[in-house]
Amino acid sequence: MTERTLVLIKPDGVERGLTGEILRRVEAKGYVITRLTKLDAAPDQLAAHYSEHEGKPFYQPLVDFMLSGPVVAAVVEGDEVIKGFRSLAGQTDPTTAAPGTIRGDLGRDWGVKVQKNLVHGSDSVESAEREISIWFG
């Protein structure tokens, strides 16, 4: 079943020069990048993207982190790409993410308040469509 997902390379991934490696892993998995842009996120984009987390203690630090530098946004397509990319990304916490995953190989705990974990991937078909519209119109 061909799906679309949103992949974001967060400011820590862009700053560390990992964009090419992350996109290489996506393509090596056999997925197709159909849209790609590098941009500075706008506060209204982030408010829409993270709306379900508004009011939670990590919300504002997360938004501040996402505003701290450019992000790379991609629309990625493939059979079961949502589940596949989330597996490729690894667990949210890079400290415990499995070796072979993006977060397991390239991420770590930086000792800061917000979790810097390199990438975001949509968690469902509905979220993917909503998130793609936020980042690509």
Q: Is 33 exposed, middle or buried (0-12, 13-18, 19+ CB in 10 A)?
A: middle
Lookup result for tokens 């820590």: 12
Query: Which positions of the chain have pLDDT values less than 70?
Result: none
Extract the tokens encoding 29. Answer: 């998995």
- In this prediction, residue 1 carries a pLDDT of 73
2-136 under CATH 3.30.70.141, yes or no: yes
> pLDDT by residue (tens digit) across 85-106?
999 999 999 999 999 999 999 9
pLDDT in tens, 2-19: 999 999 999 999 999 999
> Which residue in 120, 128, 131, 134 is the catalytic one?
120
120 is catalytic: yes
Provide the whole-model pTM: 0.95
